[in-house]
Each structure stands twice: as C-alpha cells, then as structure tokens.
C-alpha cells in the first residue's frame, strides 16, 4: 500500500521498469532515456523526502513494511535468546526482550513488537503493552544489571494498552515504576525510537543515557489522531494536530529531548532495511563503547541530571 506522497515516485519507477523491459524484449537502445529517468526519480525522491510534513513523517513511521523490533534484533545479533514472562501474571507478547550478541558484545534488547497481518497484530496486541509487559521489561533490565550487560530499548508503540483490565492490573503504576527504576540502573542504557513513540507507553522503556530517534519517527504525549479528536471532536484535523504537537525527530532534537537523530535511507527505513540495520548496529556499538568508560556513579548521576534538565519553567 502506497502513501499518497509516494505515488508519483511509484509511477516513475513503473515507467522505468517498463522501459527496461522494452530494452530486453526489443533490443531497443534506450540506455540514455533510462539514465535520464533514473536521475529524475532520484531528484523527485530527494525533493519529496527532504520536505515531508510532520503528518507525512507520522505516516512513514507506520509504514506496513517498516522494520519492527524483532527485525532489528535478529538482523543485528549473531545469537538472540528471547526471555518471557513477568514472573507475576503472564508473558505480554507486545513487549519482547532477551540477550543478544552484537559483534561479540552481549546486549539486553527490549522493545515493543507489532504484527504485519491481522493474526499477528492481534497476537502482539498492536504493539500496545499491558502492565505485565512493562514488568517483564523491568525484570529483564534488572537481569542485565545483575550480569553487568548494557541495555538497548527499541521503542515502537501507539501507546500502552488502554483497556480497563490493564488499568485494574496497575498500568500507570507499572510505567511509573519503570521510569523511576531506569534512572538508577547501573549499566549503560540506550533508547532508540524506531517507529511510533506514543505517550507513557513509549516512556516506560525510554529513560536512558542516550535517547535517539530514527529520522522518520515521532515521539509525543499523544498521537495526532487522538489530539484531533480531543480538540476538534474529529480525526479530520490530524494533520494540523501533528504540526501543533511538533513531534518529529528534528523537533525533539531542537527541544533537547533526544541526543541524536539516526539517518534513514532515502525513502525511509523500509526502502533499504539492511542499510538501516547496519546503521543502527554501528550507532549502538559506538554508544556502548563510550558509555562503558564511565563509572557507575557517573552513569546514574548523568542520567538523572539529563532528564531533570528537560523542559522550561515560566513564571
């Protein structure tokens, strides 16, 4: 399924395919025409993807072919052992985690996992974790701390599950506890928004020494659609809401709420997943190496100072 702003590019690429097929079938000399069309496609792509609106970046973050947490983990790790359950209620399939080896470095990976078809989405609860998901995440963080292994969280959620049963089991308390406990973890913590970063559902695994976002992701207290519904009683104003929320990676970097923006291939992470995996992998290894030079006390103090300094107070 193509996004609206991708359709002109897709039409040009279809013409390119037809032209190449013509060259094969008829031995026609269209090499020059093919070269001109390829240059035109590249130009249109650059113009399109460097001038995206905030709403268009939200759409890209939700692209059906965009890599999910387990895609990154399996592609970056030589070995990965998934760990299950919160040792209290259940194993939340919307939150995944476990130890993986990245170039010989053992890392605890934790993140929300979505599904690509109806069955998978139901199984993963659309990437919306219940309280047991956040409690599982905290259990795995403490396990990583016990064995002195760095933690990497991959954030991609439309929000924590809002059902009444989740509230009955302590959704707010579980997220709040994670936020509190992550401040004092004695190992490096790296948080990366790889898709949607909505509300407390994202923040529940997003307190780290380094917080980063992929180029075409968003991070906000609320989604544009829900913001539009609250303010205008309709989803029709989601584009205006996205602009007002200032939720893109560039916005977050400008507000000093994140440390770094990780570039994506032209066209988004789904356009060249292998390149995206390699970029994220190298960023993780670089940051782990830098953070491991700090003492435990420095890690904790810097993390607390980092988040305490966010925001502005006006009297």
**How do residues 38-92 score in pLDDT, each as one tens digit?**
899 999 999 999 999 999 999 999 999 999 999 999 999 999 999 999 999 999 9
Q: How many CB atoms lie within 10 A of CB 230?
A: 10
pLDDT the model gives residue 28: 67
pLDDT the model gives residue 30: 78
Among the ranges given (24-38, 49-63, 196-210, 292-306), the one the predictor scored with the smallest mean pLDDT: 24-38
Q: How many CB atoms lie within 10 A of CB 168?
A: 9
Q: Is the pLDDT of residue 25 over 90?
A: no
- Which residues, 6 or more positions from 146, have their beta carbon under 8 angstroms from its beta carbon? none
Rounded Cα distance, 242 and 170, in Å: 30
Q: What is the pLDDT of residues 262-292, one digit of tens each?
A: 999 999 999 999 999 999 999 999 999 999 9
Pick the closest to residue 63 from 198, 194, 237, 154 (CA basis).
194
| pLDDT above 90 as % of the chain | 87
Annotate 136-165 with b (16+ C-beta within 10 A) or e (fewer).
Answer: bbbbbbebbbeeebbbbbbbbbbbbbeeee
Q: Helix, strand or coil for residue 94?
A: coil
pTM for this model (two decimals): 0.93
Q: Is the pLDDT of residue 312 over 90?
A: no
pLDDT the model gives residue 126: 96
Q: What is the pLDDT of residues 132-145, one digit of tens each?
A: 999 999 999 999 99
pLDDT the model gives residue 32: 82
Written as six digits, the tokens of 18 are: 């037809």
Among the ranges given (6-10, 112-116, 153-157), the one the predictor scored with the smallest mean pLDDT: 6-10
Domain residue extents for the chain = 4-51, 57-308
Residue tagged 């760095």 (tokens):
150
Annotate 85-102 with b (16+ C-beta within 10 A) or e (fewer).
Answer: ebeeeeebbbbbbbbbeb
The radius of gyration computed from the CA coordinates of the chain, to the nearest angstrom, equals 21
Superfamily of domain 57-308: 2-enoyl-CoA Hydratase; Chain A, domain 1 (3.90.226.10)
pLDDT the model gives residue 17: 87
Rounded Cα distance, 138 and 122, in Å: 24
Please compute the mean of the pLDDT values over residues 106-133 and round it to a whole number: 97
């Amino acid at each position: 399924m193509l996004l609206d702003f991708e359709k002109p590019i897709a039409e040009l690429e279809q013409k390119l395919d037809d032209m190449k097929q013509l060259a094969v079938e008829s031995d026609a000399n269209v090499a020059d025409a093919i070269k001109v069309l390829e240059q035109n496609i590249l130009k249109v792509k650059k113009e399109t993807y460097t001038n995206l609106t905030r709403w268009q970046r939200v759409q890209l973050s939700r692209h059906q072919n965009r890599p999910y947490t387990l895609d990154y983990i399996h592609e970056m790790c030589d070995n990965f052992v998934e760990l299950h359950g919160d040792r209290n209620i259940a194993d939340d399939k919307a939150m995944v985690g476990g130890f993986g080896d990245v170039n010989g470095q053992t890392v605890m990976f934790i993140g929300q996992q979505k599904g690509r078809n109806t069955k998978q989405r139901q199984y993963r609860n659309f990437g919306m974790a219940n309280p047991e998901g956040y409690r599982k995440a905290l259990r795995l963080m403490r396990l990583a701390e016990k064995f002195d292994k760095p933690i990497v969280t991959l954030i991609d959620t439309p929000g924590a599950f809002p059902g009444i049963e989740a509230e009955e089991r302590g959704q707010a308390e579980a997220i709040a506890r994670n936020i509190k406990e992550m401040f004092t973890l004695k190992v490096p913590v790296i948080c990366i928004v790889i898709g949607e970063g909505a509300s407390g559902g994202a923040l529940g695994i997003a307190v780290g020494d380094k917080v980063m976002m992929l180029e075409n992701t968003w991070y906000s207290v609320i989604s544009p659609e829900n913001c539009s519904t609250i303010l205008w009683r309709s989803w029709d104003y989601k584009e205006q809401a996205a602009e007002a929320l200032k939720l893109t990676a560039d916005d977050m970097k400008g507000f000093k709420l994140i440390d770094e923006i990780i570039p994506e291939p032209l066209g988004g992470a789904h356009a060249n997943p292998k390149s995206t995996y390699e970029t994220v992998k190298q960023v993780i290894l670089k940051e782990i190496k830098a953070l491991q030079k700090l003492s435990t006390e420095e890690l904790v103090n810097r993390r607390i100072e980092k988040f305490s300094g966010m925001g502005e107070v006006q009297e």
